[in-house]
Structures are given as C-alpha cells and as structure tokens.
C-alpha cells in the first residue's frame, strides 16, 4: 500500500508543477453528458431539421423535428424523441417517432428500424450519424427492412400506389383500415 | 441445512502458510525495502470493499477472508434466486429470497474466525464519495458495464493530489462463459475502465425488422414479445424482469408467435435468459478470475510481490483469460487514453471572479493561451450554461450569458466542460477557483 502512495506523491509533484491543483469538492461532468455535448456542438442540422430541449439542462433528452424538402415525404413534419442513457456511447440512443405514420421502416408505435440504432451501433458513431440515418429513411424508404409490413408490401409491389398512400396518410387519412396522424401544415 | 463448523486446531496453524508468503519478500521485491514484520498488523487495519456478492463475489469474499483481510464490506442489491445455487456456494436453498450481501457476509464470518464482514443491501449509487473514502482497496465482481463505469468515475474523481489516501486501487474481475479478465486500476495513475471501454463487446442485437417480420429462431420470438408486443399492449406499467408474472406474459406471447411461424424451442427459462441477457456462468471461470483478483489485493496490501497495474513503462495492468479453446491467458498493458472523459483530462484550475457574467467568462476563453477558443460551448454537471449549437439550444441558453457565475449557481470546484468546433473531438476541462 505504502508503495502506491509514494508513487502517487511523485506524480502529484509533477502535476503541481504543471499547474493542476484542485480547490473544494470536485463536481465533474459525467462521461455520457460530455460525449453528448461533443456530439451536439458538432451537429449539422441543415434547414430541414430542428431540435427542442424540454429541459436545456438535460441534454440527454430532446426532440428532433424533420421536415423533408424532397422525396415522397416532402411537406410533412415528423418528430422523434431522443433518450440517451447514462451508458452512452456504449449503448445507442433510444429513438422513437412521436406521430403515427405510414412508413415501411417505422411501426405504428413509432419504433424505427435503422441498423445503427440497434445491431450496427458502435461507440465511434455519433448523434450526427443517427440524424443523417433518420433523414435518409424519409428520402429512401426501404422495403427490405419492413416494420410496417403492409407499407413495405405496397412500396415493393406498387410504387405509385405507395406514394398516394403516403400523401393520404400524411394528411390524416386512412390507409387499409389504419388512420394516420396529420403531419402536413 | 446449516453447514458444520470447521475450525482449525489452532488459529496460528491456519495462517501459518499465508504468513510465510506475505511476510517474506518475493523474488521480485527488494529485500531492503520490504519490512515483513509490519505486514500482518497493517493488513489487519485495511478496510477492503467488495462490490457484488454473486458468482464472482462469493469467491472473492471467501478468498479475501482466507488471505488475511480482517475488515471487509460487501455491497449487493440483489436477492438470492434458486438458479444461483449451483455456483454461488455461500447460499443454501433456505436462503432463496434473502439479500446476497447479508447471507454471504454471515456465512464467511462463521467459517473464518476473526473476520468482520459488513453487508450493504443496496445499490452502489446509493452511497457518495464520503462512504467510499473509508476503504483502501475496492474489488469488483460485477456483471454490468454501467455499474463498473459508475464506480470507476467515482474513484477517479476522488483521487486528489493533496491526499494520497484518496487513491483507491480498483481491482475489477469479469467473466462471461469460459472467458474472463482481471485488471487493476490505479485511479489517475494509469488506464481506467472508461479508457478500456472498447474491451467490452457490445451486446449482439437482431435487426428490429427481422423481429417484426421474419423471425427464424426462438430468441427472435422472445425479443419480439419483449421489445414490440410489450410496448404495444403494456400489460403492466413497468417491465420488471425479476417478476415471474411479467416473464410469463412474455413467454406466452413468444410462444404464440413461435407457433405462428412454426418455430420450436421457446421455453420459460429461455425467455428469462433472453430478456435478462443471461450468459451461462461457468463456476470454474469465476474461481480462476476471483483468485487472480484476490492475489492482486494481497500483493497490493502486503507489497510482498509486484502487482498487476504497477505504474511504469510497459508494466501490465490487464490479464485476459480464455478457456474456450484449451487455456490461454495474456497479460498486457492497456494504455491510458489522453482524451478519456473520466481520467484523461486533469481539470485546469481557472481563477475567476464570481461576479463575472457568463459572457465575460466565455470571452476570457479566447485569451487563454492554452485554449484560444473562438466559439466555446460550456456545460457543468447537469447544467447547460451556453451551447453554440444546435440553434434551438443556443437560443434557450442565451439568457444565461447575462447572468453572473454566482447567479448560475456555480461554486468553487465546479468543473466546466468546454467544447469548440475548431477543436473537433476535444473537451477542455476547467475547475473553478474564485479569486
């Protein structure tokens, strides 16, 4: 035990010389918050996306709004809750769509099938990657990863019909017995 | 069933061989520097903390008691489950449902005379630094990365230059099936658990759409019940993975789905295993890893031999063990990460006037020779002071710029995390000192 203490004393001498001394009780920012701060300050949202922080002190919970300016979902306004656990970036953020929408890769409860939100998440990925991924889902809905099986089937078999269904659903209409939320202004 | 009392004929005889080892200098110890006559007395005074009283914890408690530690504490929030009994040998059938820490402590106290074990039936997060300050060594036998990161951050944060006693060696054991690791962390003096986070493989997950549309395995059906059906139907307000009623609900749902897709193999115990992410535990792996951890504790406490994690060029701090294919171990040095968010950035002391506004503080960053930050974003723990991005957060935090540091509730010792787009991936760390 004594040996470690003397080694620590050696090290502290060197550090004191470098000007690192502490005053009072330390209150350190946690690793997850630090990483989210880094990610947020490098975020490039562009003109189609906006964030909302219900509590600005809690940067682990926020809402992302996406308003696609091209593609089949153009004109809609979609929102996603981001819930980042203290185990970030070891665990991916939990992301859920708040509106009931007609999309092959988003189910009626708002669950999103995006590989980097689950099986392909790696701690080197950041919030920007997730946000780009979400934006991409609206530009290129993907019939081979279906969460809403009917929507995926429509997209695969009849692209024009799928487009019409998207318009109907986005304006609050009913597609195949399901009534969707109005997401156009 | 109570265990028979096993008492050695004399206490002296019981400790004879241990004392031979710990009171004599080992082959790699300078005999001039080692004083064997004080070892027993010193070790009798050491307070050692064991975190976790499960598979590893039972082994660790037994080993430490037999290694001559006299004042042991143990924390575990869990109660004993019948499935623990095959390897958690301090527990008996009659103990099912009781707290692990309590039962384990009593058992070892009964078997090893002269040892005091203090149990805490709670979470590690229930205690603060003042609690952890009383121990000299911490040994972890945990199964969660989150708990490891928490205790690591706490111990690193406590290590202060002024007080060498605040430096608590952290010995961490971990096992998964036939694999395991033992490592020693000397907070701030070397690589920490956060530096080594990439050593943990993330849990393998199945794509959500596979679960939703084309399940192929019984596990897919269970995961479907767990992540999709549960959220949709919410049979109980909150999923409690230890509640048999909740697991039964998931099991029934998974079974229905398996039937629909002609998949066999969904059972109650598989459901429990998938939902709780249970990896089969091998008793022998636990004992190998626990033995390695406790050897390090004995060496650190007695200095009778060099220990894993000894600071210095090329000195190893990590032992990996694999029993998957014969027996293989490899001991190496995991380097400290310069940009580690927990131990990498010693906070620079920043002398400030509490009457300064946040804006004045931020402007001062531009003239700091080591930083010269043009567009800094600033946060403290749980408090967003000013963020340049995203635009909405900038707007929300802009009113803070006019407030003084005092008004913002900043006190001496508060650490500020500062980021700037000009320094991608870098966080500057400042510790406030009022002048």
Beta bridge mates, B175: B180
| Distance between first and last Cα of chain B | 66
The rounded distance, in Å, linking the Cα atoms of B182 and B165 is 23
Would you mind telling me the total number of residues written for chain B in this entry? 435
For helices B55-66 and B100-111, what crossing angle results, to 10°?
A: 30
pLDDT higher than 60, residue A36: yes
**Angle formed by the axes of helices A159-170 and A149-157, nearest 10°:** 140
How confident is the model at residue B6, as a pLDDT?
56
Q: What average pLDDT does the segment B241-248 reach?
A: 92
Alpha carbons B421 and A39: distance in angstroms, whole number? 10
Distance CA B183, CA B170 (A): 8
Q: Do A59 and B384 touch (CB under 8 A)?
A: yes
Other C-beta atoms lying within 10 Å of the C-beta of residue A161: 11
Least confident segment among A21-25, B159-163, B238-242:
A21-25
B41 contact partners, CB below 8 Å, separation of at least 6: none
Q: Is B58 a catalytic residue?
A: no
Question: Cβ(A101)–Cβ(A181) under 8 Å?
Answer: yes
pLDDT band at B320 (very low <50, low <70, confident <90, very high): very high
Residue A117 has pLDDT above 60, yes or no: yes
Domain of A165, CATH number, reads: 3.10.110.10
Partners of B149 on chain A (C-beta within 8 Å) are 31, 86-87, 90
Query: If you measure CA to CA, which chain A residue comes closest to B394?
Result: A56
- What is the pLDDT, as a whole number, of residue A8? 61
Within a domain: A17: no
- Of residues B132, B135, B119, the one with CA closest to residue B300: B135
Q: Which chain B residue is nearest to residue A11, measuring alpha carbons?
A: B189
From residue A1, how far is each of B46, B108, B343, B432 by CA, in Å?
9, 25, 21, 32
Place of tokens 């951050």: B153
3-state secondary structure of B43: helix
Residue B76: pLDDT over 80: yes
Please, which residues bridge with residue B318 across strands?
B183, B332
Name the catalytic one among A49, A113, A117, A169: A113
Best CA proximity match to A106, nearest among A128, A60, A73: A73
The reply to whether A143 falls in a domain is yes
The answer to whether residue A122 sits within a structural domain is: yes
- For residue range B97-128, what is the model confidence (pLDDT) as tens digits? 999 999 999 999 999 999 999 999 999 999 99
Span B231-239, mean pLDDT? 90
Residue B4 has pLDDT above 80, yes or no: no
A40 vs B303: CB contact, 8 Å cut-off? Answer: no
Domain housing A75:
29-177
Q: Which two tokens stand for residue A129?
A: 């990657």
**What is the average pLDDT across B71-98?**
96
Q: Which residue of B has its CA nearest to A150?
A: B213
**pLDDT value for A3:** 60
The residue written with tokens 């690193």 in the block is B156
Q: Which 59-118 residues of chain A touch chain B by CB within 8 A?
A: 59, 86-87, 90-91, 105, 107, 109, 111-113, 115, 118
Which structural domains are found in chain B, ordered by start?
8-197+281-332 (3.40.50.720), 208-276 (1.10.10.520), 348-434 (3.10.290.20)
Contacts of B205 (CB under 8 A, 6+ apart): A118, A119, A121
Question: How many structural domains are present in chain A?
Answer: 1
Q: Examine residue A36 and state whether it is found in any structural domain, yes or no.
A: yes
Residue A85 lies in a domain: yes
- Decide if A8 touches B, using CB distance below 8 A: yes
- Residues of chain B found within 8 Å of residue A33, distances taken between Cβ atoms: 379, 381-382, 417
pLDDT confidence of residue A19: 45
Does some domain include residue A21? Answer: no
Q: Which of B161, B209, B293, B294 is catalytic?
A: B209
Q: Rounded distance, CA B16 to CA B25, Å? A: 16
Question: How many Å apart are CA B5 and CA B3, to the nearest integer?
Answer: 6
Question: Tell me, what's the pLDDT at A160?
Answer: 94
Chain B environment of A10 (Cβ under 8 Å): none
Please indicate, yes or no, if residue A166 is contained in any of the structural domains.
Answer: yes
Tell me the mean pLDDT in the region B56-76: 98
> How much of chain B exceeds pLDDT 70, in percent?
97
- The sign of the torsion formed by the CA atoms of B296, B300, B302, B304 equals positive
Question: What is the rounded CA–CA span in Å between residue B386 and residue B394?
Answer: 7
**How many beta-carbon pairs under 8 angstroms link A with B?**
204
Question: Would A150 be classed as within a structural domain?
Answer: yes
Q: Omega of the bond prior to B390 within 30 degrees of 0, cis?
A: yes
- A-chain residues near B169 (CB < 8 A): 4
Distance CA A53, CA B230 (A): 28
Quick one: pLDDT band at residue A21, thresholds 50, 70, 90?
Answer: very low
Q: What is the pLDDT of residue A23?
A: 43
- Which distant-in-sequence residues (6+ apart) come within 8 Å of A66 by Cβ? A48, A49, A77, A78, A79, A80, A134, A135, A138
């Amino acid at each position: 035990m004594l040996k470690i203490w003397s080694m620590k004393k050696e090290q502290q001498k060197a550090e004191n010389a470098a000007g690192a001394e502490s005053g009072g009780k330390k209150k350190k920012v946690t690793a997850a918050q630090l990483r989210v701060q880094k990610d947020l300050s490098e975020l490039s949202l562009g003109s189609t996306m906006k964030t909302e922080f219900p509590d600005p002190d809690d940067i682990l919970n926020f809402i992302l709004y996406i308003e696609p300016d091209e593609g089949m979902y153009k004109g809609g306004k979609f929102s996603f809750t981001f819930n980042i656990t203290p185990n970030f970036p070891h665990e991916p953020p939990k992301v859920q769509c708040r509106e009931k929408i007609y999309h092959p890769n988003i189910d009626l409860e708002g669950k999103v099938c995006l590989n980097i939100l689950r099986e392909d998440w790696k701690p080197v990925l950041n919030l920007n990657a997730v946000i780009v991924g979400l934006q991409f889902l609206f530009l290129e809905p993907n019939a081979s990863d279906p969460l809403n099986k009917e929507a995926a089937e429509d997209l695969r078999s009849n692209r024009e019909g799928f487009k019409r269904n998207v318009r109907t659903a986005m304006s609050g209409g009913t597609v195949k017995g399901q009534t969707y939320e109005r997401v156009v202004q | 069933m109570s265990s028979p009392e096993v008492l050695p004929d004399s206490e002296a005889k019981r400790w004879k061989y241990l004392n031979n080892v710990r009171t004599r200098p080992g082959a790699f110890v300078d005999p001039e520097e080692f004083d064997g006559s004080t070892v027993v007395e010193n070790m009798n005074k050491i307070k050692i903390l064991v975190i976790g009283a499960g598979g590893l914890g039972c082994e660790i408690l037994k080993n430490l008691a037999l290694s001559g530690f006299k004042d042991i504490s143990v924390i575990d929030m869990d109660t004993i489950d019948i499935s623990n009994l095959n390897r958690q040998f301090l527990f008996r059938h009659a103990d099912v449902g009781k707290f692990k820490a309590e039962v384990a402590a009593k058992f070892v106290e009964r078997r090893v005379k002269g040892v005091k074990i203090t149990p805490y039936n709670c979470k590690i997060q229930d205690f603060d630094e003042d609690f952890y300050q009383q121990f000299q060594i911490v040994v972890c036998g945990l199964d969660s990365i989150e708990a490891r990161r928490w205790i690591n951050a706490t111990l690193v944060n406590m290590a202060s230059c002024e007080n060498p006693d605040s430096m608590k060696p952290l010995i961490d054991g971990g096992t998964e099936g036939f694999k395991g690791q033992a490592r020693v962390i000397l907070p701030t003096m070397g690589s920490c658990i956060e530096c080594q986070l990439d050593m943990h493989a993330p849990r393998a997950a199945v794509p959500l759409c596979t679960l939703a549309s084309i399940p192929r395995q019984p596990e897919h059906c269970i995961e479907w019940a767990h992540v999709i059906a549960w959220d949709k139907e919410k049979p109980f307000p909150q999923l409690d993975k230890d509640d048999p009623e909740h697991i039964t609900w998931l099991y029934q749902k998974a079974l229905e789905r398996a039937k629909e897709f002609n998949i066999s193999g969904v059972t109650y115990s598989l459901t429990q295993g998938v939902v709780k992410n249970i990896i089969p535990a091998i008793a022998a792996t636990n004992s190998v890893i626990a033995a390695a951890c406790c050897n390090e504790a004995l060496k650190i406490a007695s200095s009778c031999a060099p220990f894993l994690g000894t600071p210095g060029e090329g000195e190893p701090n990590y032992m990996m063990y694999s029993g998957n294919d014969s027996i293989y171990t490899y001991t190496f040095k995991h380097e400290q990460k310069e940009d580690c968010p927990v131990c990498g950035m010693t906070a620079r002391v920043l002398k400030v006037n509490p009457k300064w506004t946040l804006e004045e503080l931020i402007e001062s960053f531009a003239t700091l020779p080591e930083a010269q930050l043009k567009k800094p974003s600033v946060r403290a723990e749980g408090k967003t002071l000013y963020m340049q991005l995203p635009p909405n957060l900038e707007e929300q935090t802009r009113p803070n710029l006019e407030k003084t540091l005092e008004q913002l509730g900043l006190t001496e010792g508060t650490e500020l995390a500062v980021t700037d787009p000009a320094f991608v991936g870098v966080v500057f760390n400042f510790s406030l000192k009022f002048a």
